[in-house]
Structure 1
Amino acid sequence: MEIVLTDRGGPEKLRIDDTAAAPPGRGEVRVRVLATGVSFAEVQMLKHRYPMQPKYPFVPGYDLVGEVTSLGEGVTGVAVGDRVAALLVTGAWRTHVVITADRLVPVPDGLDAGVAAAATMNGVTAWQMVHEVAKVRAGQTVLVHGASGGVGTLLVQAAVAAGATVLGTASAAKHDTVRALGATPIDYRTEDVPARVRELAPGGVDAVFDHLGGDSLQVSYDMLADGGIVVNYGSATTLDENNHWLVPYLRTIRRFASWWLGKALGRARGRRATFYYVKAGPSFNRALAEVYRLVADGELAPPIDQRLPLTEAAKGLRLLMDGRATGKIVLEA
């Protein structure tokens, strides 16, 4: 069984197909999916706004946690019955997935499959941005946009664990969640966010994690302290634009180019900006192993808003689109 996105539109464009699982080829394994996630990427794909997404129809699903059911020729280092995780970008919303063995990451014994799924893409995204991109350290102050979301909640936790003071934007209904994670909430709907940030961090913040894109990037950049960094990992504010999906990214590149030029000319006070996107490969595998260790040890806790059957993927998308989710929506097969 698989969930197919048939065309541009809303969650009603999903259909459920009854398909047979293919056998694995050389270097591949077949995995029975136990849990997968609903992410903003799928919301973008509904509107054909995600970079280089497949042509309709296709099966969405960015990541998965599952159990190996069969091995292709030449596969070593993994056995039938092993629990594993993988980053696919698309194709995870199935009951069975065939994938190359080198993309698999072991899931620790005792770690719930749904929790592992909530930590897979979101956990690596947060961990790499905090530790490898912004290199957050004790004594710094950072701002997390969307601090109650699937990635945002983990960004807050990772930055707090690094010893930073964290400010996080969220709607008022989600402020208790943000506080419980260790951050100071800012209501992006009713408060002047830059003014509130200046009040809490008069010298500016050392990092801003911005999934909004568009005009938000300039606002984020202007809130930086000397030597600070904006990490842009999305373009949520451009979701409803009626243009080619590439246009918002070209605007962002132009904006970044002006900042890079200013930095080269010594006019940026050491401030900088960079892109981040999560991608499969050895770096992802290493980071996910570390994220799973932190989750298993109780040092990182990915919040799960709801667990839904895979057949209710449309409901999960609607919850995310309506802004009603706090943390991750997990689909269980």
Structure 2
Amino acid sequence: MVSDSQRRLIILTEGHTEPVTGKTATCVVRYRPEQVVALLDSTQAGKTAQELLNVGGDIPIVGSLEDAPQANVLMLGIAPSGGKIPAPWRSIILAAIRRGMDVISGLHEFLCSDAEFVSAAAEKGVQLIDVRKNNERDVANRIDIREDCLRVHTVGQDCSVGKMLVSLELSNAMKARGIQSKFIATGQTGILVEGDGCPIDCVVADFLSGAVEKMILAHQHNDVLFIEGQGSISHPRYSAVTLGLLHGCLPQAMILCYEVGRKHVYGMEGFPLKPLDQLLRVYETMANLAVPSRVIGVAMNSRKVSAEETEKERERVRQELGLPVCDVIRHGPDELLEPIQAMLGEK
């Protein structure tokens, strides 16, 4: 298997090189650009990652594996609802294997459960890496949790609003301030960026909170943990994962994340999103069943609106909720760091 330091990735985004479905590619390009040779999308060949994803600079979009000969790993770069491998991608995956490339996937449909992929990989001596594959079998016990390690959890109005990105940006900013911080990855993209974590949406339900607690126990020597959120407490499909994660990580503080302008559950137009103030109350109620906790700030994702619209919305939410509000990419994370640092000072 190619080591992390030797990885030269070509990220497969065929037909999906955009920030939402292609969020795995987007985040790996943002946080691990030194590993990325190119993105593979024959429908967008000739363009750059910056043009399509707003990150990545001149990283090219290529039309075939042959156009990025220095790549030694193929990474599947999408996170579609349901987690299936798109049927047209099979030939590309097989071609990569036959070129001697490892293949990394974060999808629910495992590479290693596909007889054709497994046979081809065995013949070429390459690795099929399923990031979501796990064997978690520990229940939560709520024993030996250190209260002087601050646990900050990003929660959302919906899926795909930036919970992982906010957690990473806050953790990196804390490290820059000289504070021991750790990003706790709970989804496939976060794991690919951080190099460790647990794919909690693929853990048997009884062991979900225990899998999260295990990560808390392993990393609570740090001053602060930023635990990546998943889904939303009101999501028609994913609320169970959201609640299990919430009760597993026992947050003392939460950051509420949302996308400006989004009105309905992503991919489910018949389901209007719940208002932020209602969700804030529900998250605090559910968290306080386990540990004293409160929402201390709001992270807005303003990628689809202008700077002027962003500032109007930012002030509106500040007034409505009485909390710090910012877009960590557009404004930087400082406004959200201040209440976190204040809580650290109280410990």
Structure with the bigger percentage of strand: 1
- What TM-score, normalized by structure 2, do the two folds share? 0.33
- What TM-score, normalized by structure 1, do the two folds share? 0.34
Larger RCO, structures 1/2 (Cα 8 Å, 6+ apart): 1
Structure with the bigger percentage of helix: 2
